[in-house]
Structure 1
């Protein structure tokens, strides 16, 4: 009896869950985010970098990444509301 139950269990099809695959969309960021990234980069360039080169470079890298993210978010894409 155990083998019969096992065979029946293996034959049953399990319904698959539908996974919605959607295209990646950039989330619109606020203008203040871009302003903060530009201001932070300039402050890092003129006040932090001359005093400590490693910290200045690290801060400039972070603020440049923030600026790049704000540029990417400028592309027109529909806002997806869950």
Structure 2
């Protein structure tokens, strides 16, 4: 993570409760937040102590990226994962 407790400016963050149903959707949310924070992929890779290839793969929705690295980068960007029960579907939507 960032040295000596340094934090990124969170500001204009992603709206709350953005449901994610695929690795592609997750990658898009991460890309949007990175851009909101005016970071390049190389910047995020350096701050997150990972390779640029990992950032590219993550943002492109590669389904086999390492979960802990994803969670660490999300934390760095001021994002978090919240698990909840899906809202029930109405009979007409089945």
> Which TM-score applies when normalising by structure 1?
0.29
Question: Larger % of helix: which?
Answer: 1
> Which TM-score applies when normalising by structure 2?
0.27
